Amino acid sequence: MDYIKQPIEIENRSMEIIAPHLQGLGLDEAATKVFSRIIHASGDVGYAPLIHIHPRAIAAAQKALQAGCDIYTDVEMVRTGINKRKLAQFGGSVYCQVAEPGIAEAAKAADITRSMAAMRAFGHRMDGQIIAIGNAPTALFEVLRLVGEENLCPACIIGIPVGFVGAADSKKALAEQQTIPYITVEGTKGGSPIAVAAVNAIMYLLDNSRS
Amino acid sequence: MDYIKQPIEIENRSMEIIAPHLQGLGLDEAATKVFSRIIHASGDVGYAPLIHIHPRAIAAAQKALQAGCDIYTDVEMVRTGINKRKLAQFGGSVYCQVAEPGIAEAAKAADITRSMAAMRAFGHRMDGQIIAIGNAPTALFEVLRLVGEENLCPACIIGIPVGFVGAADSKKALAEQQTIPYITVEGTKGGSPIAVAAVNAIMYLLDNSRS
């Protein structure tokens, strides 16, 4: 079996294959990197026309990262995938509390999902920080409620939950609000590797080394 | 914003939406569960015609799980996503060593990916166990080399790496070998939530409670 085994060669070849699928989308260099990493992570060029990046989103996320912001996420798989060594170089950490015992109890008491309860419990700790939702539509809906009703003001929302129940609606609501810069994917597709790809792409734009 | 907030209702509604997309594929009840969880995890009904389950794969994986087998994986996101509490009830654990310092050194020395070096280092520890590859084509190619050249004999290979460089070829090679029962997805799509969905679906078939 003959195949490419070198990490850098794999990534470079992948980006070459992806590039033609981004033609005509009018992307600048930074957006191209975010789109490319999402498609690289999904193996799905069908993402190209579905990704939406608010005009100020990448710059806002970069400014927050450079100020040492933290990242708040709905599920452990997103925390696992984010390059935490790179984030620590900027001074930040990733927080996820969906697995905390108190959250399970709060979710059960309110008859809501654990990830929704977890985002509610973070509350204004997320002001000025980056939020990355990679799984639960309910978590994104709750973040949007906090923005709309409780003046939560995160630096950027990377909102890419997945699935057939609420995901498309929650992402549409994210793209329709005008307050917070965002990155999202329209429709049912998404998930933790997609949210992770967007976060890591933005960090790698600031510093091209991976470790 | 009005939306469904109850975890069980979300999952049931999702499965109802997915069901019509599995019509005509000739799936038995167990395969239907695996297909459904993969589509649920990806938000992508386009997976339906791409999933391939070897006739003995689910039964072989279940038998191994019931005997307390461990699961060996290429990346931390797969380890994170697998329901480890459920696996522990059967007696098993999940192992991933891609982030071990010795693996990084071995990969650098051999000019191969870390996940490939990690699977090579597991070697015959994987005999009789389940292997779940959710990211790296090189890891799956290496597992297939171990099977072909070194008589590695895992109970089942869930091989669903993702991307444009090697993923489709590695999964084709998996489906073409006749030795080890497998679950895979043809083409470039795949990834850690897809491998996780297959593993968790098989565990939930054995015991329908989630925790």
Give me the residues paired with residue B94 across strands. B71
Q: CB–CB of A173 and B1 under 8 A?
A: yes
Q: Are A168 and A188 a contacting pair, CB within 8 Å?
A: yes
Query: What domains can you pick out in chain A, each with its CATH number?
Result: 49-206 (3.40.50.10230)
How far is B53 from chain A, CA to nearest CA, in Å? Answer: 20
Partner residues linked to A182 by β-bridges: A157
Name the DSSP class of B45: G
Reported confidence tier of residue A2, pLDDT bands at 50, 70, 90: confident
DSSP summary character for residue B157: E
Q: What's the average model confidence in pLDDT over B64-75?
A: 98
Which residues of A are less than 8 Å from B173 in CB distance? 1
- The interface predicted TM-score of the complex, written ipTM, equals 0.96
The predicted model gives A70-81 an average pLDDT of 98
Within 13 A of A180's CA, how many CA atoms are on the CB side? Answer: 28
Structure tokens at B202: 């098989």
Residue A207 has pLDDT above 90, yes or no: no
> With 90 as the cut, is the pLDDT of residue A195 above it?
yes
**pLDDT tens sequence across A141-193:** 999 999 999 999 999 999 999 999 999 999 999 999 989 999 999 999 999 99
The Cα of A55 is separated from the nearest Cα of chain B by a number of Å equal to: 25
B185 membership: H or E segment, kind and range: strand B182-185
CB-based burial label for B17 (10 Å; 0-12, 13-18, 19+): middle
Tell me what pLDDT residue B207 has: 83
Rounded Cα distance, A35 and B199, in Å: 29
Taking CB atoms and an 8 Å limit, are A193 and B77 in contact across chains? yes
CA distances from residue A6 to A21, B18, B133, B136, B156 in whole angstroms, order as listed? 24, 38, 18, 12, 27
pLDDT digits (tens, 9 = 90+) for A45-59: 999 999 999 999 999
Per-residue model confidence (pLDDT) at position A211: 53
B141 close to A (CB below 8 A): yes
Chain B residues whose CB is inside 8 A of the A165 CB are 4, 10, 13-14, 17
Say what the pLDDT of residue A51 is: 98
Contact A17 B164 (CB under 8 A): yes
A126-142: pLDDT as tens digits: 999 999 999 999 999 99
Mapping DSSP to helix (H, G, I), strand (E, B) and coil, where does residue B199 land? helix
Query: From the CA of B44, how many Å to the nearest CA of chain A?
Result: 6
Residue A189, chain B, CB below 8 Å: the answer is yes
What is the rounded average pLDDT of the residues B139-156? 98
**How much is the average pLDDT of B113-141?**
98
**B91: three-class secondary structure by DSSP:** coil
Distance set, CA A103 to CA A3, A98, B81 (Å): 46, 6, 18
Q: What is the pLDDT of residue B208?
A: 66
Active-site residue, selected from the candidate residues B40, B52, B54, B124: B40
Q: Which residues 39-58 of chain B have a CB within 8 Å of chain A? A: 40-44, 46
Task: Assess whether pLDDT exceeds 90 at residue B210.
Answer: no
Assign 3-class secondary structure to chain A.
Answer: CCCCCCHHHHHHHHHHHHHHHHCCCCCCHHHHHHHHHHHHHHCCHHHHHHEEECCCHHHHHHHHHHCCCCEEECCHHHHHHCCHHHHHHHCCCEECCCCCHHHHHHHHHHCCCHHHHHHHHHHHHHCCCEEEECCCHHHHHHHHHHHHHHCCCCCEEEECCCCCCCHHHHHHHHHHCCCCCEEEECCCCCCHHHHHHHHHHHHHHHCCCCC
Tokens of A99: 């697995």
Residue A65 has pLDDT above 80, yes or no: yes
Partner-chain residue, chosen from B10, B18, B165, that has the shortest CB–CB distance to A14? B165
pLDDT band at B209; cut points 50, 70, 90: low
Is the CB of residue B36 less than 8 Å from the CB of residue B194?
A: no
Contact between chains at B164 and A43 (C-beta distance less than 8 A)? yes
**pLDDT for res A209:** 62
Q: What is the CA radius of gyration of chain A?
A: 17
pLDDT of residue B1: 72
A163/B3 CB distance under 8 A: no
Judge: A169–B3 Cβ closer than 8 Å, yes or no.
Answer: yes
Chain A: closest CA distance from residue B187 (Å) = 8
Average pLDDT, chain A: 96
Distance (Å) from the alpha carbon of B155 to chain A's nearest alpha carbon: 23
A124 is an active site residue: no
Instruction: Name the residue in chain A with its Cα closest to that of B187.
Output: A43
> Is the whole-model pTM more than 0.95?
yes
Q: pLDDT for B106-119, tens place per residue?
A: 999 999 999 999 99
Per-residue pLDDT, averaged over B74-101, amounts to 97
Res B175 pLDDT > 60: yes
pLDDT digits (tens, 9 = 90+) for A21-49: 999 999 999 999 999 999 999 999 999 99
From the list A21, A40, A54, A124, the catalytic residue is A40
Separation of alpha carbons B27 and B50, rounded Å: 13
Average pLDDT over residues B48-60: 98
- The residue type of A193 is P
Chain A residues closer than 8 Å to B101 by CB: none
Distance of CA B142 to the CA centre of its chain: 16
pLDDT digits (tens, 9 = 90+) for B190-202: 999 999 999 999 9
Please tell me which residue of chain B has the smallest CA distance to A39. Answer: B163
